[in-house]
Structure 1
Amino acid sequence: MRRRPERTGQAGAAGPRPAGRARGPHAGAWWLWALGLSTAASRTTNPALLALLAAVAGYVVAVCRVPDTPWSRSYAAFLRLGLVVVVIRLAFAVVLGSPIPGTHTLLTLPEVPLPDWAQGVRLGGRVTAEGLWFAFREGMRLATLLACLGAANALANPARLLKSLPGVLYEAGVAVVVAMTFAPHLVADVRRLRTARRLRGRTEKGVRALLEVGLPVLEGALERSVALAAAMDARGYGRTAAVPPAVRRATAALTLGGLLGLCAGTYALLAATGAAYGLPLLLAGLAAAVAGLRLGGRRSVRTRYRPDRWDATAWLITASGVAVAALTIWAAAASPAGLDPPVVPLTAPSLPLWPAAAVLLGLLPAHLKGARP
């Protein structure tokens, strides 16, 4: 009888890695941190602050992302998408005009006459520096939002995020997580195919190269979809426990009412007026939504293997994003000129001190030992 060789070496001597340190912080904490940065970006049109927010998100991604994972390599794709958004916004301002009146004319394009029912829309005409600056600021704000959400997509493991969802949201969470994992896998497939073409000495540019790369990418997406459907069916996806009708009605009422309260309270807090009743409405909606989710969890029969714990690192990551959002909202109400500088007259942007210091609080996850891989 052949004797099985014994395992030797560093891997056998070191033993298994600690589970908590290898898994990193809670995936939901990264999304809350990114949503805080996104909220701050939505409250300002200052290009200096927007660039600082994008730099903070990029630095945290570079320090805290887990290498060699499909989702960690998707951040560059979000940055390219943001650059495309800025270019398209500038192109629209040149071709369709801008609502901002300006005095610094850069060029004058031939204007196409339009019928009377197209009032307020023009094709061509005068292109001003003020109009282009306004379009650049709006495009950069949207690009910064994409960068913040891309940072969450690159830092949070989608499978771990799905495990942490309440039972009542499990079906919807599966759909959302599958949709979120499409972009990282797409980027990985495109990179792998382009590398294979380069090794075979084929060109990477042109329509033919795009078609030869696009068809295998679509084929791989279809194969992953079929494999995912088979795995979900084998694991009994969609099976629920029997609950009384009264519990189902109470769950629906609490969840719907809580979500409406959350939306109304958030809108009141973000609006110029309504802060007096916004916070109580937000807290009441949050309590109702949590109660509805706890009741709805009774219909879920699934179990969690090694559930993620919300530890001190997750609290600190979440607190940094919430602090950036809260201080930026306060700064926008206290000194709106610093966060939304006027376009006319045309002036260079300046970096306000206190909002910039608030944005730098978003760098806290990069200095936490538990957040780094």
Structure 2
Amino acid sequence: MHPGAWWLWACCLGAAATQTTNPMLLLLALGAVVFVVVNRRPNAPWARSFRMYLYLGVFVVVSRVLLFVLVGAKTGPTVLVRLPAVDLPSWAAGIQLLGPIAVEDLAAAASEGLRLATMITCFGAANVLANPRRLLRSLPAAVRDVGTAVVIALTVVPQLAESAVRVRRARQLRGSTASGLRGVPQIALPVLQDTLDRSLLLAASMDARGFGNRAETTRRDSILMGALSLGGLMALCVGLYGLLGESTSADGEQTGTPVWIGRGFVVLGLLLGALGLWWGGRKVPYSVYRPDPWGTAESLVALCGVAAFVLVLEALRDDPIAASLVVDPTVQVPHVPLLAVVALLVAALPGLITPALPATPKRAARARAFEESAG
């Protein structure tokens, strides 16, 4: 599978998660991501880090709830517990520590944390399903310098998981019995040191292979690339401002910013940006060994992600109440639009329609044991 297809699918699903704090929709999105990862995760050391992204998501939710309990505004009517309130001085803008904890506010804080955890899981799935080093080969030549730095940064978490497994196995061979939280202080420093060493080795190996090298550019080319990039960004800013300023009156007449300003400047900005990337790429000579092909499976994965995002937006536009958890006056059962459920089911289709990967030895042993027990 082309890595760009998985990243496009994950970005679309993460963008859909940003549009809602409905816990039911977020849990459905999480289920779709986990289903795809479990069925299509490759047998590679860097692909074993998905569990760490899940742990990070749980940590985000717990941290969001604890921060709300510590300094959050308590406005809900249903008080769950009353903690002693601590008023800070006037220079602290009236912030109050602790105080009564309402069920409505607690549920809203948890749903906001769940949204961020879903986004983290989506990008973690892209990092697990697609090797970021392969994605670097598909980037435009003009952004390969930035892409190299991003790839090295993205490999830190997978290498952290791999280093943790290797250090824990080495400690077990030496007879260490510390496990759980007691073993964290003993393995934290070796894991961090090993992760940083492997990241530096990756950066050195990529530099030795020519990543980040750039041919000399003339002053004319530099000015032209800067003008195209700056002009594209300015046109995009004007276009986005125009799109936000568009409005329609009750009788259907267009008011506010004219349509051609917003959409026209957005298109102009994209064209100038693409032209700047093309012109800048002419000065970065590089070759690609065995480029990843983009076939039918990649198109289906990308289409599933885009369709899920569009359908979720359409469902939330038709039913705005379903976009958030209703806590006024009390916590209510979240309303789940049928179209949004269909969209998230479509997002889970890549776990079935993409080519199956070779079974790992552990999976093959489980399959044989299941067949023997069934027989």
Q: 2:276 aligns with which of 292, 296, 306?
A: 292
Q: Distance in 1 between matches of 2:4 and 2:60?
A: 27
Q: 1:81 aligns with which of 31, 56, 59?
A: 56
SS state at 1:106 partner: strand
Q: Identical aligned pairs, as a percentage?
A: 41
The within-5 A match list for 1:58-69 is: 58-67=34-43, 69=44
SS state at 2:326 partner: coil
8 Å Cα contact 2:82-2:101 kept in structure 1: yes
8 Å Cα contact 2:148-2:211 kept in structure 1: no
Change (3 A) 1:31 1:281: farther
Q: 2:126 aligns with which of 152, 158, 177?
A: 152
Q: Distance in 1 between matches of 2:50 and 2:272?
A: 35
SS state at 1:110 partner: coil
SS state at 2:163 partner: helix
Change (3 A) 1:128 1:275: farther
The within-5 A match list for 1:199-278 is: 199=173, 200-206=175-181, 209-259=183-233, 261=235, 276=259
Farther-moved stretch of structure 1 (237-246 vs 170-179): 237-246
Q: 2:323 matched to which residue of 1?
A: 339
Q: Which runs of 5+ in 1 are unaligned?
A: 1-24
Change (3 A) 1:237 1:37: closer
Q: Distance in 2 between matches of 1:145 and 1:304?
A: 32
Q: 2:24 matched to which residue of 1?
A: 48
The within-5 A match list for 1:1-373 is: 25-67=1-43, 69-98=44-73, 101-199=75-173, 200-206=175-181, 209-259=183-233, 261=235, 276=259, 279-345=263-329, 346-370=331-355, 372=357
Change (3 A) 1:33 1:197: same
Change (3 A) 1:281 1:148: farther
> How many residue pairs end up in the alignment?
346
Q: Distance in 2 between matches of 1:145 and 1:288?
A: 30
| Structure 1 residue 215: Cα displacement | 2.5
| Structure 1 residue 249: Cα displacement | 2.3
Q: Distance in 2 between matches of 1:162 and 1:203?
A: 40
Q: Distance in 1 between matches of 2:262 and 2:123?
A: 25
8 Å Cα contact 2:319-2:337 kept in structure 1: no
Amino acid paired to 1:193: V
TM-score, structure 2 length as denominator? 0.84
8 Å Cα contact 2:2-2:292 kept in structure 1: yes
| Structure 1 residue 165: Cα displacement | 1.1
Amino acid paired to 2:36: V
Q: Distance in 1 between matches of 2:263 and 2:300?
A: 22
| Structure 1 residue 28: Cα displacement | 1.3
Farther-moved stretch of structure 1 (289-298 vs 127-136): 289-298
Amino acid paired to 2:48: R
Q: 1:14 matched to which residue of 2?
A: none
Task: Give per-residue Cα distances to partners, 1:302-330, cap 9 Å, x unaligned.
Answer: 21111122222222211211111122222
SS state at 2:125 partner: helix
SS state at 2:100 partner: strand
Amino acid paired to 1:78: Y
Change (3 A) 1:181 1:264: farther
| Structure 1 residue 288: Cα displacement | 2.1
Change (3 A) 1:162 1:96: same
8 Å Cα contact 1:243-1:298 kept in structure 2: no
SS state at 2:98 partner: strand
Change (3 A) 1:203 1:268: farther
Farther-moved stretch of structure 1 (251-260 vs 86-95): 251-260
